Structure 1
Amino acid sequence: MNAVEDVRQLLGGLDPALDGRTGDEERRRRDLTRILASDRTARADPQKVWRRRLVLAASAAVLAVAAGAVALESAREPQPAFAATPAILTFGPPASAEAANMRLRHLAEVAAARPVLQRPAGTVEYLESTNWFLNSSISGGRTASAVVPQQWRSWRTDDDAGRMDKRSLPPTFRSEADRREWQRRGGRVDSSQEVSDYAAGEFSGWTGAVPTDAAALREWLAGGLRPDLGPVQHLENVAQLAGVRLLNPAQRATALRLLADLPGIAVSGTVTDRAGRRGEAFSILSNAHGLPAQYTVIVDPDTGGLLGYEEVLTTTAGKLNVTVPAVVTYRSYLVAEYAAMPR
């Protein structure tokens, strides 16, 4: 049995890589963020501390996250590489003086009034997005990171079957020395492609029609597994939904009403997103995943659709080797329409 198998046997159900469902990739990445976090102001959870010690102690292992996959290696490396994170978005004045909950409800009405997209015969839900993730590895108590841009295309049928095409572009680094360090640790520096086909009921884990009642949508997204989900997780669920489902006007409006009900959500201002589109930003500040961060959704004021999602570390990076404020995740939703399923 190799080191990876040893540690996975120890971890059992705690290993976040064991669930390959599309909607759980962000959860696996956040598991690493929690392990790397060193927020001393947060109250320690004995169970989480035990899990963290188990992961770090097992086989002198290194936890490496690459595009949602978890790998373990035993090696001590020199000075870590530092990730060249994207520029922070600049927020302008708010579009109105309304509080966030009122403004989101207003945008929900805008969404509800939009015409329903007509569906040609023989087509399925087709979505495109650009996604950027900070991938990190720990070795000998030190962290190396790279930023990995990904282009996602997906096709989904009514019975939640479909295809996901993920193209990873070459990661970026602050210097050539950082690139060499990342390669020393086994990190990829070239492009790659992963195409996955899903049987009925397996594409996203969210099956059936998207609810058009805010309370029902909130429960549907949570899957009935954790009724105590915090506001950040509900916001992230909405953001993930926008990346895998084609929402009609009523469903987009319901998603915005769900966001409007979240405690702590605030207006960040107007913004030009990473695809050059104007939008309105709404954020929650939280250390729910181990480090103080700002979680933001960007809404199209003309359609009520989500344009993007961002996660930014605000005051400390813990053991993540980035300079705060630092973008650690962003999603830019580019296309949502009906198209033929590829052969």
Structure 2
Amino acid sequence: MTDELELLRDADPVSAETGPWRDRPLDARAELLLRRLGLQRRRRTVRLRLLAIEAVAAAAVLALALTVPGGGAPAATAADLVAAPRPLVAHASRADVPLAEIARRARAAAKETPGKSVMGSHVQSWSMGMEPGKDTVTTPVESLTRWNADGSGSRLEVATDPRYPGRPVIDDSTPPRTVHDGKVLRRENYPKGTYGANQDYFEAPPTGVAELRSYLAAWLPGADKDPASLLSAVQSFQSVWTLGPRQIADIATLLSRVEGMRPAGRVTDRLGREGQGFRLSAESGGRYLVVLDPDDGRLLDLELTATRAEPEYRLKAGDVLFYTAWRG
């Protein structure tokens, strides 16, 4: 809280000398300062998350090495537990479904079964630990977040065995429990009335493509203009919400309108599901692979790989920087 207050004081979008501000819109300077404030907060949040991942990863590696049983399976080595995942491989064929057609199918499915988005998610993710002069030391993490009607909720994060990347380690029961030798990294319970107010995208998403784009841009400025920012916003958004058919269709339609999104071919994603892949090269470097269910438009997997080497971080072109796979 102290850090957030310091950011607000530094930004000071409306100072005491500007007079009453309630009856008029913010001027250009105030808007710019507020936009910068949002970006500073997100950068700080992302950095803290990366530090947290790096901190628990080393412990998780050791814990996995100690807890993965024999059971006839080969013993886990340090290399097994810290190895970076290989990028997904797409295979183009005549059976590929264009992104525009996937979006059309998603809209048709939403008309037949509108449904609603539900706050909470079931996600498997991995990100590279970027520290100069050190090798990657991270493990895949599966997380399950659930919210109840009274605003109470829970979050469970479990390190997975990298030798079996698609195998679930959380059983979505009541209450959720770990399976397949998962090592618990974080378990939290939230009291009544919380309703996810301590996280981004806590407000219910709108329906409609333009409305959803504005909603995403409100949390991540630039998501309404920059394709890479849009993908980043979608990734964060779907880590908070399990989407209903209408929002699935809106996301698929948004992606179908992204300039530079190119078909990649059929892909077997991180969880063993068949999907249709599309690639996007970011101006700042890196190449995204977006994997969609060709039948209903659901986002299955999002992956970012490096397009150039970064010797300082022992990063090679083609290395995976992060991926997120949605189970919900």
Q: What band does the TM-score fall into relative to the shorter chain?
A: 0.5 to 0.7
2:202 paired residue among 182, 199, 207? 207
- Write out aligned runs for 1:61-72 (5 A): 65-67=51-53
Give the structure with the higher percent strand.
1
Aligned-residue offset at 1:153: 0.5
Query: Does the aligned pair in 2 maintain the 1:312–1:327 contact within 8 Å?
Result: yes
Distance 1:29 1:104 in 2: 36
Letter in 1 for 2:201: W
Q: CA, structure 1 residues 98+151, in 2 after alignment: closer, same or farther (shift >3 Å)?
A: closer
1:167 aligns with 2:120: no
Distance 1:324 1:304 in 2: 30
Distance 1:156 1:105 in 2: 29
Q: CA, structure 1 residues 159+87, in 2 after alignment: closer, same or farther (shift >3 Å)?
A: same
Aligned-residue offset at 1:255: 0.9
- Per-residue displacement from partner, 1:110-153 (whole Å, max 9, x unpaired)? 5425535599xxxx755322111111323xxx233213210101
Q: CA, structure 1 residues 229+161, in 2 after alignment: closer, same or farther (shift >3 Å)?
A: farther
1:105 paired residue among 103, 106, 130? 103
Counterpart of 1:194 in structure 2 is 186
Counterpart of 2:308 in structure 1 is 315
Letter in 2 for 1:279: G
1:298 aligns with 2:298: no
Q: CA, structure 1 residues 148+97, in 2 after alignment: closer, same or farther (shift >3 Å)?
A: closer
Query: Does the aligned pair in 1 maintain the 2:287–2:306 contact within 8 Å?
Result: yes
1:136 aligns with 2:134: no
Query: Does the aligned pair in 1 maintain the 2:116–2:245 contact within 8 Å?
Result: no
Deviates more, 1:157-166 or 1:213-222: 157-166
Q: CA, structure 1 residues 158+216, in 2 after alignment: closer, same or farther (shift >3 Å)?
A: farther
Query: Comparing both chains, which one has the higher relative contact order based on Cα–Cα distances under 8 Å and sequence gaps of 6 or more?
Result: 1
Q: RMSD value over aligned CA atoms?
A: 4.1
* Structure 1: gaps of 5 or more residues: 33-64, 71-80, 173-189, 337-343
Aligned-residue offset at 1:278: 0.4
Number of residue-to-residue matches in the alignment: 252
Query: Does the aligned pair in 2 maintain the 1:127–1:154 contact within 8 Å?
Result: yes
- Write out aligned runs for 1:264-343 (5 A): 264-288=260-284, 292-317=285-310, 319-334=312-327, 336=328
- Per-residue displacement from partner, 1:38-59 (whole Å, max 9, x unpaired)? xxxxxxxxxxxxxxxxxxxxxx
- Write out aligned runs for 1:210-289 (5 A): 210-223=205-218, 226-227=221-222, 229-288=225-284
Under a length normalisation based on structure 2, what TM-score does the superposition of the two structures give?
Answer: 0.63
* Structure 2: gaps of 5 or more residues: 12-35, 57-78, 164-181
Counterpart of 2:47 in structure 1 is 28
Percent identity over the alignment?
25
Deviates more, 1:210-219 or 1:228-237: 228-237
Distance 1:118 1:208 in 2: 14
Counterpart of 1:145 in structure 2 is 136
Distance 1:304 1:167 in 2: 28
**Partner secondary structure for residue 243 of structure 1:** coil
Under a length normalisation based on structure 1, what TM-score does the superposition of the two structures give?
Answer: 0.61
Aligned-residue offset at 1:284: 1.0
